[in-house]
Structure 1
Amino acid sequence: MKRRGMSVIAVLAVVASAFASTAGAGSTTAAKTQAVSCKGTLKIGFTAPFTGGAGFLGNEQLSWAKYAVKTLAPKYGLKIKLITGDTPVEQGPAIAQTIAQKFIADKTVVAVLGPSTSGNVAASSQAFFDAGLAHISPSATRTSLTKGSPKAATPAFFRVVPGDYIQGPSDANFMIKKGAKNVVLFDFQEPYSQGLSDSTQLVLKAKGVATTRLSVANTVTDFSSFVTKVPSGADFVFFPTQKPGDAQNIAQQLLEQGKKAKVFGGDGSNDSSQFKVPGSFVSNFAPDISGIAYNKAVIAGWKKDNPGKALGSFGPPAYLATQVALNAIKKACDLGKGQIKNRRDVVRNVKKIIVKDSILGGRFRFSTKSNDPLNAQFYIFEIQKDGTYKLVS
């Protein structure tokens, strides 16, 4: 009996040890319940592609996030350090899960910027939610992240740009206004392009436009064999890539094969340094912010910190996302009387944030119906002969 009793005690000890190790080794439960002082340095994680085909996107976003932290955090009495996690689009969603756990394990990380891409949001949102971490994306547009049932993201996810439920119909209606009768739509076997092509194709079909769908692996860079499948009478090739160089390649290959179809890229291809075939189109969630008078000083300051860098469309939303995160952290600190007692205190305050003069223009606030911006819209640009982007809708 004694030996049997000791066996039971031993089993209980093993079970207790297992729970203890789970709670201590960077678990979400431990990470979300430890209070942190707002007088010390707080961290904001930033997960985006900094290398690979979409590296331009993440680096542009990071430059604006850094500028926002540098100029805004002191105004709120905060000491903030940005830490980064690289998620090359070619590596798929697994890397996002790894980085999420890295951020979660650091109790001084009180908010996250990103993930920048929809697939990585879907892959990591549950982990962030379980840890009580708000994650605010400056560029993830997949509709199902915030709408539908079930949603692909959690209530801890927010975005400062509109979703594909706005972009797809906007792009489709623009092509229809341009007289489109036949459109070829690509997807790259990942959530961003599939969702955007789905929402665009739905409107095109409803308006009587003939459509063809081509699905291509995300690693393909030579599209010549797919161009042969584009009908000679096609008006547009809808190409929602996250790698602008690929949009450039297919536009050139269409010309080489004598196809008249114009390439129409989504927001992921909006980079005038890589995608510049005249007559092509791109849509984006941000306007040219240089046309907004009150942005003059912000733009000048960013350019001083980033000499030689061109003003793009992906960076300003990252500035806004950082601004929202900083405000939510400040509110949590005030309510906690100098402490963030629980990371969820930041989550609770994100949706309350209002930015009077948003860098993207006008007053920013979140919708009451979803964690999307209220009354946001997409903008369409046509590439000119000199490679510049001209706003056309």
Structure 2
Amino acid sequence: MSLVLQMPRGNLETINSRPLVMEIVKQDVDKADCAKAFAACRRYRINLNAFVEHDKETLMGRLAEFVEQVENVDYINLFLTTFGQGTLPDDVVNQVCNRVRAELEKKDMKKYINSILTAHVMKRPADHEAGLDLLLRLRENEPGPVEDAVKYMIFLVDADRLFDTALGMYDFSLVLMVTQHAQKNPREYLPFLRELRALEKNYQRFKIDDHLKRHEKALRNLSVRIGLMKLLAYVEKHQLYDIALSIWKDTERYDTMLSAYGDWLFKRREFKDAAFDHLSRRISRAQVAEELGEMKEQFKKQVTRLRELRVKKVEEPDAFYGVEDMELHNVDVITDVSMAPTMFTRYTVAPSAASKSSKRGSRSKRKMERKVGSGRKGTVDEEYSLRSVTKLVTRFNATQ
């Protein structure tokens, strides 16, 4: 990989051209000579991201060979740290860290404990809890290297963050193990830990989550054994109404929390949401959607019927208005019963249609024709459809 140059005055200069070095590294990666490629990158200060940038799929398939060839723990830590602090996408970094960690755990967990912790810490986001959980398991089976592993993890991660992570796991022995090796002043944490250990389990976890500002988890722990007024105060303080409603759904506290949520929305002048919230005490969202769908179908039917009537009004006005045939008024009405005339016939016999027709006269006939032709508001069917549409609109506005 060296290039010898002779200067004009005759002296010789040896250089290592970066393009030449990169080409040799790529060839070594293709030949699965991971140890040689890694050594070249370290010697000539080539970013280890070159392994991934050259051929990611090939590297992912040969990570087991990489771990086998590069056995030095510090070298593997350097490899993982370079990836974690580089510019590669988060999913690529997490994939490399998980693959390397799995290979190291299968090979020798005790030997590669620091590298495994590095893989947890360099993920995005860092998985500090998994690293501390590994220390707990290792303390039960292999207590020897735990002390050095804790110190190494404190070297990688800020001690206060590690303290909060251990506290959030609700394991006080783990918290003490971290604080002892982090050289924290006992006066800063012992009174707080004593106060927590004296509390009931669920309330203890609530205090821890509240201290760590994990308010959703705190509310779930608080809801087990606590008064309703304290719950409402905590929910209002941190605006956890959605979480509270999901926790107490189908319980006796649900309506109380729903009412408090509606009042809070009203104070924020979010009147639409507040109104819907109060409405949902009596009717669920599914019922509202079902009612709106029913109104929509009825509205479509009535509008379609109105269009049909309007077309009929233009094309068939007589059928639309129900005009009677004037010739029918001159037809006599014949009774079904035929009886012989008696002395009382002249008092009981009904006048015939012909006699009525003669009384009506031509003036009445012309008056009826003008009445029919003068135009009406519409038939009963049309007026019923219009009233139905009006009622549907009023009902929709009320529901909205």
TM-score past 0.5 threshold: no
Structure number, greater radius of gyration: 2
Q: What TM-score comes out, normalization by structure 1 length?
A: 0.23
TM-score by length of 2: 0.22
